[in-house]
Structures are given as structure tokens and as C-alpha cells.
């Protein structure tokens, strides 16, 4: 039997210490393009990537033969090296150790991609910690507040 899946992941990760170092929007888009390539190399379908100065959101379908943790590690390690090699974001020292990953159905794809596309507007109202905690609660992920952030 063949393998068929239709699970959309929202992957969220932040800069180390949530430092607001991804300040140049044009350069952020170069970063998103690089991450998009990493995802495609791993046979993922990418729906949207966007973020703000201190974190990134990704909507993607992960190939069934790729593990989520390996994929996130690949994205973080390769993009960190790329950022430092290109000198894109002075002050960038890496990504946080952890990440958030939340699942959505195909019927929720448009709402999810719209949410990610509008990150700049969304963060005029809400901080990243508020947003992240809200995602954890919405998806009923158990967490201990003292371990949420670096």
C-alpha cells in the first residue's frame, strides 16, 4: 500500500533569546527563500513563510519519510550558517533550542496562510510570547511556563 498524508504543520521558532535582530524586511525575505529551499530539498510542500524581527512561522506539508525534528534541525542549522556566512543580520547568534509545531487540516490552510502572511500587522497588537502561548493553548499542548522561553 502507498503512503498518503494530508497534514499541514505550522512550525514556529525564534531567534536566540528572542532578540529582535531580523530587522530588515527585505533581508528577511531572502532568509525565507533560503528556508523554502531547505524545505523543498526535504520534499516538503511549502505554503507560506513569514515572521517578524524575532521569530518565524512556516506552513508546510512534510513528506512522510521526513521526521519533523530532523527537518527543523536542518532548517535551523543550515539557515544559521547561511545568515552568518552572508552577514545578513548583525547580532544574530542563532535560533532557540526548541520550536512549536501545530497541525492543521487542508480545510484550515487558507486561514493559516493568511495568519502567517499578516504577521507584521498581527504583532502590532500582540507580542511573540503572547502569540506562542496562545498557540499552545489553542492546540491543547501542555507546557510549563518556566520552560517556554530561553
Domain spans in the chain, listed from the N-terminal domain onward: 8-147
Fold for the domain defined by 8-147: Alpha-Beta Plaits (3.30.70)
| Predicted confidence (pLDDT) at residue 1 exceeds the cutoff of 70 | yes
pLDDT of res. 50: 98
| Predicted confidence (pLDDT) at residue 26 exceeds the cutoff of 70 | yes
- The chain-wide mean pLDDT, for the chain, equals 96
* The CA-based dihedral angle spanning residues 58, 64, 66, 71, taken in that order and rounded to the nearest 10 degrees: 10
pLDDT of res. 150: 65
**pLDDT tens readout for residues 72-131:** 999 999 999 999 999 999 999 999 999 999 999 999 999 999 999 999 999 999 999 999
| Predicted confidence (pLDDT) at residue 148 exceeds the cutoff of 90 | no
State the pLDDT confidence band at 54, using cuts at 50, 70 and 90.
Answer: very high
d(CA 150, CA 137) in angstroms, rounded, equals: 19
| Predicted confidence (pLDDT) at residue 147 exceeds the cutoff of 90 | no
Q: What is the mean pLDDT of residues 38-43?
A: 98
| Predicted confidence (pLDDT) at residue 65 exceeds the cutoff of 70 | yes
pLDDT of res. 149: 81
pLDDT of res. 59: 99
Assess contact for 50 and 119: CB atoms under 8 A.
Answer: yes
Q: What is the mean pLDDT of residues 59-68?
A: 97
Amino acid at each position: 500500500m502507498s503512503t498518503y498524508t494530508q497534514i499541514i504543520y505550522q512550525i514556529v521558532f525564534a531567534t536566540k533569546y528572542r532578540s529582535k535582530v531580523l530587522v530588515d524586511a527585505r533581508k528577511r525575505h531572502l532568509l525565507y527563500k533560503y528556508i523554502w529551499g531547505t524545505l523543498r530539498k526535504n520534499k516538503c510542500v511549502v505554503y507560506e513563510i513569514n515572521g517578524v524581527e524575532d521569530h518565524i512561522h512556516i506552513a508546510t506539508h512534510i513528506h512522510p519519510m521526513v521526521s519533523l525534528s530532523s527537518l527543523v534541525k536542518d532548517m535551523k542549522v543550515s539557515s544559521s550558517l547561511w545568515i552568518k556566512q552572508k552577514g545578513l543580520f548583525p547580532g544574530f547568534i542563532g535560533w532557540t533550542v526548541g520550536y512549536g509545531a501545530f497541525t492543521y487540516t487542508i480545510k484550515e490552510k487558507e486561514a493559516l496562510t493568511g495568519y502567517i502572511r499578516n504577521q507584521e500587522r498581527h504583532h502590532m497588537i500582540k507580542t511573540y510570547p503572547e502569540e506562542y502561548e496562545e498557540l499552545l493553548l489553542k492546540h491543547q499542548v501542555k507546557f510549563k511556563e518556566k520552560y517556554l522561553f530561553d
